[in-house]
Structure 1
Amino acid sequence: MINCFDFPGADVLEPKAAHAACAILRIKQAMTGAGYPVIYVNDNFGEWHSEKSRLVDHALAQPNRAAELIAPGDEDFFVIKPQFSGFYATNLPVLLPKLGVSRLVLTGIATDICVLFTAADAHMRDYALWIPKDAVAAENDDRGQFALDTMRETMGAETQASDALSLDAWMARLDRGDDTRDGA
């Protein structure tokens, strides 16, 4: 989500990302309010010498509603990824166990690429997943929906929107061992 939207198709994706950012902000506030860690996993955009502040400053220098809404705070973790999955060639596989994490709420762009690949890697590592459909965005709505369906049906991910399922309700459902995912 920390992105300059300077690529082909960005004109289609950016407004969708801004809409998703509103839901992401609500989820982030619930996470921090409950004392859970918030981890940004962000592309390096081919800037191999980059780090958090450079990426964030560069994104915020552009007119970018999504980055403005959900820019990382000092208390948030920030992982830079070189490819589609947040797990591939990053410190995320080491960080999550150190933080005691067993459940992941995945949000961001693009649903059918980075979110999908990260979800697949998380699923292979036995993380419980919630990918709120209102907190992700894709250039193509059909591909985005296909990715959500795939994550729900093959990875056991919850995909209910954040206004239909709260963080507390999702966590309680997992604690009870309920598998009542809603495909809506």
Structure 2
Amino acid sequence: MPASTALLIVDMINPLDFEGGKAMRPQAIAAAARIATLKRRLKADGVPAIYVNDNFMQWQVDFSSLVAICQHGDSPGAPLAHRLPPEPDDYFVLKPKHSGFFDTPLALLLDKLGATRLVVTGVAADGCVLTTAADAHMREYAVHVPRDCVASISPARTDRALALMKESMKIDVRTSRYAGA
């Protein structure tokens, strides 16, 4: 795997306490398991993992506090946070809105890491993953959104988002098996 690749994990530290969160939960849990496998494989090849996460209007918390909130047993998103816990060598960027690039230092971090290729995973495929992938595409990164590592509130919405990314932006949406190929 070239050192120029970075793995983005979008909004997987997530309380899932929003409208549609309950519907997304089973797909998100399945995606979390596949993202965890992909993360282990890519990190073994020296690829940095970057958690690009909404702050869920928790303006006074840092990332580790957000993880603790989401890992709490009462949180519908606890299985996601437990399957994908950040490790000490992982990076994180808190975002105020949909795209990981909007009003965040993500572009600076990627430049510092020398990243030119992004593997974008997470939720929601038709929201934050889509806008992050579109912004990455506009910034001329090579983008791969592994179709088995994203989720939305319905499979149909995921499929539509992936089709848009593939057809309109020529983004690679093959499964995680091809990440790094």
Q: What is the TM-score normalised by the length of structure 1?
A: 0.87
2:4 match: none
Structure 2, unaligned stretches of length 5 or more?
Answer: 1-11
CA contact 2:13–2:81 (8 Å) conserved in 1: yes
Query: Distance between the aligned counterparts of 2:98 and 2:55, measured in 1?
Result: 11
Say if 1:151 and 1:8 are closer, same or farther in 2 by CA, change over 3 A. Answer: same
* Alignment partner of 1:134 is 2:145: no
CA deviation map 1:45-67 (0-9, x unaligned): 01112211110000001352111
Deviations 1:147-173 (A, max 9, x none): 1011111222111112xx3334x2xxx
Structure with greater proportional helix content: 1
Mapping of 1:1-184 within 5 angstroms?
Answer: 1-61=12-72, 62=75, 64-162=78-176, 165-168=177-180, 170=181
Identity %: 44
Summarize deviations over 1:112-167 as a string: whole Å, max 9, x none: 000000011000011111111110000022221111011111222111112xx333
Amino acid at match of 1:47: Q
Which one has a larger percent strand, Structure 1 or Structure 2?
A: 2
Matched residues, number: 167
In 2, Cα distance between equivalents of 1:155 and 1:55: 32
Aligned residues: CA RMSD: 1.1
Bigger radius of gyration, 1 or 2?
1
- Separation of aligned partners in 2, 1:160 and 1:68: 26
Q: TM-score, normalised on structure 2?
A: 0.89
Which aligned segments of 4 or more residues in structure 1 are displaced greater than 2 angstroms? 165-168
5+ long unaligned stretches in structure 1: 171-184
